[in-house]
Amino acid sequence: MMKLHNITLTVNGRRYDLAVEPNELLLNVIRDRLHLTGTKYGCGIAECGACSIIANGKLMLACMILAVTASGWDITTSEGLAKDGNLNPVQQAFIDKGAIQCGFCTPGMVVAGTTLLMENNSPTEDEIREYMRGNYCRCTGYTSIVEAIESAAIHMNETK
């Protein structure tokens, strides 16, 4: 048995105090212990983006982070994007543009789309494709996803 480490995570605004083993991955803690299953296990090796989270304001991959490393971090998962029951503009645009088929990639996509628009409020199509290159989708062919992010950007700029 490895030594347990006490960690504190703030996830979607809620504070969690946990004891974790050094080899526990943040992804598994989020899914299995916090029961936030929006963050998906896809490849497990930082290639597919299904486990995308926002950590201290930055896009990161929960499958490639130890839970102990994340102690003290402020994390947002796909479940934390909506505020007061209202979907964020990226989530809403994914629905409006039909940018979802099986839905497995969608939580990671909306998380990455959200950090993209945090960093660049009017990205070009090329910039969107470039930024989203670490998020794989087996269904949509990406066009509708790019359109959804473009339309979310327009919506956000109109309502600012």
Ligand X SMILES: Cc1cc2nc3c(=O)[nH]c(=O)nc-3n(C[C@H](O)[C@H](O)[C@H](O)COP(=O)(O)OP(=O)(O)OC[C@H]3O[C@@H](n4cnc5c(N)ncnc54)[C@H](O)[C@@H]3O)c2cc1C
CA torsion through residues 12, 14, 18, 22, sign: positive
| Number of residues lying near ligand FES (CB under 6 A) | 22
How far is residue 27's CA from residue 103's CA, in Å, rounded to a whole number?
18
What token pair was written down for 135?
Answer: 């998020």
Contacts of 142 (CB under 8 A, 6+ apart): 129, 132
- Min dist CB 37 to ligand FES, Å, is 13
User: Which 88-127 positions form the footprint of another protein (CB under 8 A)?
Assistant: 112, 115-116
Select from 5-13, 38-46, 80-88, 122-130 the region that touches ligand FES (CB under 6 A): 38-46
**Cα–Cα distance for residue pair 44/40, rounded to 1 Å:** 9
Q: Of residues 18, 82, 87, 139, which one binds ligand FES by CB under 6 A?
A: 139
**Between residue 18 and residue 47, which ones bind another protein under the rule CB under 8 A?**
22-25, 28, 41, 43-47
Which residues here bind ligand X, judged by CB under 6 A? 46-47
Q: Which residues, including other chains, have CB under 8 Å from residue 151's CB and lie 6 or more apart?
A: 93, 96, 97
Interface residues toward another protein, by CB under 8 A:
2-3, 5, 22-25, 28, 41, 43-47, 49, 52, 58-61, 63-66, 68-69, 112, 115-116, 130-131, 133-135
Interface residues toward ligand FES, by CB under 6 A:
41-44, 46-51, 61, 63, 100-105, 137-140
